[in-house]
């Protein structure tokens, strides 16, 4: 392949290079300037649009808050209900219910028992009564021990007129 013959003298080559450089730099400057102008206009336009949107949405938010405020009475009622329900649950959990425990004890006393008194204080129950015979006492004791009532104490208070007096003390288990 033959080399191209550069007929241009050195001075002209340099000038040509300079002209090329000038052209490129000018083009770059024009493009950058145009780009800057374009993005500036875009930014300014977006800025004004968003400012307007923010104002509109602030107004809409205030309207929705007003709508929410209208239901504050209902909301108050609901929150008070939830609080009270929570307190009721706490109360029901913590209170000591006598009736199921008393029922258990009375059921365990069995048939033929004649009660004289029942005393209950705090968590301790005392039942005094009369049984028809000694075997009933043993049977009662057996039944009481089978159940996990708490601390159970059964006393034989003696026999009178053929009947056996007893005193039952139960300290119920706490919840």
Partner 1 sequence: MKKKEEKSRGKAQITTLKTVSLGYNPSFVKKIGLPVLGIVFVFTACIVLLFPQIKQVKKSWELNQQLIKERKIFLQKAQLIASLDEEKLRENARLALLALPKEKEISLILAALKQPSQQTNFYLEEMEFNLGEVVSATGSAVSSGKGKVSKSKKTKKIEQVPVKATFIGQRRNLFSLIEELEKGLPLLAIQNLEARFSQEQQTKVELSLVFFMSTQQASYNPQKITFADLTLSDKEEALLRQLGKMRIPTGEFLHQQDFSHRPAPSSPRENPFSPY
Q: Which two tokens stand for residue 148?
A: 């996990």
**Residue 175 binding partner 1, by CB under 8 A:** no
Among 8, 16, 20, 50, binds partner 1 (CB under 8 A): 50
Nearer to partner 1, 76 or 133 (CB): 76
End-to-end CA, the chain:
108
Contact (CB, 8 A) for 157 and 129: no
Contact (CB, 8 A) for 126 and 118: yes
Contact (CB, 8 A) for 126 and 167: yes
**Residue 38 binding partner 1, by CB under 8 A:** no
**Residue 47 binding partner 1, by CB under 8 A:** yes
CB of 68 to partner 1, least distance (A): 5
| CA 138 – CA 156 distance, rounded (Å) | 10
CB of 36 to partner 1, least distance (A): 5
> Binding to partner 1 (CB under 8 A): which residues in 141-160?
none
**Residue 13 binding partner 1, by CB under 8 A:** no
| Contacts (Cβ under 8 Å, ≥6 apart) of 143 | 108, 110
**Residue 20 binding partner 1, by CB under 8 A:** no
| Contacts (Cβ under 8 Å, ≥6 apart) of 101 | 125, 149, 170, 172
Among 8, 16, 69, 159, binds partner 1 (CB under 8 A): 69
Among 2, 3, 7, 122, binds partner 1 (CB under 8 A): 122
| CA 82 – CA 24 distance, rounded (Å) | 76
**Residue 15 binding partner 1, by CB under 8 A:** yes
**Residue 12 binding partner 1, by CB under 8 A:** no
Work out the widest C-alpha separation in the chain, in whole angstroms. 153
What is the x/- site pattern for partner 1, positions 76-115, by CB under 8 A? Answer: xxxxxxxxxxxxxxxxx--xxxxx--xx--x-------xx
Nearer to partner 1, 32 or 145 (CB): 32
Gyration radius of the chain's alpha carbons: 50
Nearer to partner 1, 116 or 138 (CB): 116
């Amino acid at each position: 392949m033959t080399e191209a013959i550069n007929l241009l003298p050195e001075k002209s080559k340099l000038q040509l290079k300079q002209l090329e450089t000038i052209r490129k730099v000018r083009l770059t400057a024009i493009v950058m300037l145009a780009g800057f102008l374009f993005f500036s206009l875009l930014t300014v336009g977006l800025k004004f649009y968003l400012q307007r949107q923010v104002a509109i949405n602030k107004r809409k938010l205030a309207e929705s808050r007003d709508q929410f405020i209208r239901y504050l009475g209902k909301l108050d009622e609901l929150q008070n209900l939830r609080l009270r329900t929570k307190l009721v649950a706490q109360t029901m959990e913590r209170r000591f219910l006598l009736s199921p425990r008393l029922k258990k004890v009375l059921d365990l006393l069995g048939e033929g028992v004649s009660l004289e008194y029942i005393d209950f204080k705090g968590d301790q129950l005392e039942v005094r009564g009369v049984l028809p015979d000694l075997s009933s006492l043993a049977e009662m004791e057996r039944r009481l021990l089978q159940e996990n009532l708490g601390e159970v104490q059964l006393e034989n208070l003696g026999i009178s007129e053929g009947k056996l007096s007893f005193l039952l003390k139960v300290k119920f288990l706490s919840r």
